[in-house]
Amino acid sequence: MAEPPTIDAVVIGAGFGGLYMVHRLRELGFSVQGFEAAADLGGVWYWNNYPGARCDGESLAYSYSFSDALQQDWSWSERYGGQPEILRYLNAVADRFDLRRLFRFSTRVLAARWDEDAARWIVETDDGGQVAARFLISASGCLSAARVPDFPGMETFSGESYHTGQWPKEPVDFAGKRVAVVGTGSSGIQIVTAIAPEVASLTVFQRTPNFSVPARNRSMDRTHEARVKADYRGYRDEARGLILPKEAGKPASGFNRPPMGSGHDFTAAEREAELLARWNHGYGGAPLLFAFRDMMTDPEINEFAADFVRARIRETVADPATAELLSPKGYPLGAKRICVDTGYYETFNRDNVALVDVKADPIERITPSGIMLASGRAFAVDTIVFATGYDAMTGALSRIDIRGRNGQRLRDKWAEGPRAYLGLMAAGFPNLFLMTGPGSPSVISNVVDSLEQHADLIGDALTMMRAAGHITIEPERDAEDRWVAHVDDVANTTLWPRAASWYKGCNIPGKPQVFMVYVGGPAAYRRICDEVKADGWRGFRLAGQAPAREPARAGAR
């Protein structure tokens, strides 16, 4: 095969991360080619168009900050954007900044090999193409590798079946159908609530109950929006935890109602009142999780809040046995990703909805007519929805055959758990950047914000290298080791690792169980990255003089 021309960068994925990354690089004067396996842009917001899909971070925050004109011009219709609106937003961003032409859609990256001699990545795609690039940037997503369980008999099912993360683009008709939903994480909770009113019957197969708190979604309060837009920078910095809200306990941003201090500083009645305020007035979701600064570090405070949520479930669900089954026990609130809903628990008061405990009686097989449990209990259904989650954090990357120095595979390097300095780069894999990679705040942060931060950091790295004439950047092994140990140490001071969660890889049989998120907080992480950069990219090895070369022609500039 003829030598492919070398461009500056390949970016994998056209979601929030990839879209901004290509924009940033082009702005800095680098040639860039993006690849996206889907037919169109949007990433998770392209794939997750199941009924009820909605963001559970406030859209004023879960949106790009890189362009003030953009954030001033765009107006969200609701407090929490629904999937169609978020996808419209991403399309509008792509049009506004002319990003579409930087991507090849319906093109999956299959493999990437580091070419030591030429100091470049050779990237192979499923259309048989090859591209060579000095830098390879993965924006392939933390929750994009869908996991459909391999129940025996899957292929025998005579009805329709879907995974929430691979939802078809043509409408799915649920009206009058007998539907099974397997899985009660964020996706399951949303789709159950959305389709219950239209189906004939809905059977929810729950293995582990999750804590869910009300979103209190509503039409955008235009006064609030105007206040945010008058000081968007301040709002973002507050949401990032970089500055304190202006009035203690009464923030300008609903997103970031600040912690009240230690839970121990308050009486039980005061704690209850604070939790209730958050529950009732729409500081639901993550802000409930951070009601007190020791919620995720002190088992007693956490258990108090867990009890509070269980009491709300008992209050809401009419049938005590169902309420009991829906009540999470045995792991801390928040240690499995907290869910945010609009009437989830109420749904179980409907006559056409039933809850089945598949922890006690696991799904044994899929039959032509539906689902059979180990006990032999059988459920005849027309449609099965698998809301069974993802091979999170590492799944999308592991599905690409990435080989670094000496042909080492990334998935082999990560056989005992992912290792990456700052969650950004892995030793032995020069010039490979992982946006919101394992060991960064990623999924325990506002992920759009974290993606922007990584894109800016990567842009800074490439600019610095161009100016200094460096060819490669790669973490030093001991910097990587220290960071991985630090991520682990920080996690172990919290309650997060105390649940069998996808944060730890527990949902994937055989996956090493390592806590994969930096939980020191996005503000601390941002400061560390800024210091690393200011300190001459401490912990990174920079090498070589850039070869004199023709300006790249492939890709767009």
Residue 33: beta bridge partners?
A: 10
Instruction: Scan for tokens 């179980």, then name that residue.
Output: 348
Cβ atoms < 10 Å from Cβ of 538:
12
> CB 503 → ligand N01: shortest distance, Å?
9
Please identify, using beta-carbon distances, which residue of 387 and 432 lies nearer to ligand N01: 387
Please identify, using beta-carbon distances, which residue of 125 and 446 lies nearer to ligand N01: 446
Please identify, using beta-carbon distances, which residue of 214 and 389 lies nearer to ligand N01: 389
Applying CB under 6 A, which residues contact ligand N01?
Answer: 54-56, 143, 149, 164, 182-188, 190, 205, 207-208, 337, 340, 358, 363, 387-390, 443, 502, 507
Please identify, using beta-carbon distances, which residue of 183 and 437 lies nearer to ligand N01: 183
CA distance 196 to 202: 6
CA distance 8 to 182: 44
> CB 276 → ligand N01: shortest distance, Å?
22
Please identify, using beta-carbon distances, which residue of 428 and 439 lies nearer to ligand N01: 439
309: three-class secondary structure by DSSP? helix
> CB 184 → ligand N01: shortest distance, Å?
4
- Torsion sign, CA atoms 345, 384, 511, 111: negative
In 3D, which of 163, 111, 147 has the Cα closest to residue 397?
111
Please identify, using beta-carbon distances, which residue of 207 and 409 lies nearer to ligand N01: 207
Cβ atoms < 10 Å from Cβ of 95:
10
> CB 506 → ligand N01: shortest distance, Å?
7
CA distances from 140 to 60, 176, 192, 401 (A): 24, 37, 27, 14
Residue nearest to ligand N01 (CB): 185
CA distance 426 to 394: 13
Please identify, using beta-carbon distances, which residue of 13 and 475 lies nearer to ligand N01: 13
> CB 333 → ligand N01: shortest distance, Å?
14
> CB 110 → ligand N01: shortest distance, Å?
25
CA distance 288 to 306: 11
> CB 83 → ligand N01: shortest distance, Å?
9
What ranges in 97-156 are assigned the alpha helix state H?
A: none
Contact predicate 371/379, CB 8 Å? yes
CA distance 255 to 340: 14
> CB 148 → ligand N01: shortest distance, Å?
9
Please identify, using beta-carbon distances, which residue of 193 and 431 lies nearer to ligand N01: 193
Please identify, using beta-carbon distances, which residue of 327 and 472 lies nearer to ligand N01: 327
H, E, C per residue of 249-291: CCCCCHHHCCCCCCHHHCCHHHHHHHHHHHHHCCCCCHHHHCC
> CB 530 → ligand N01: shortest distance, Å?
27
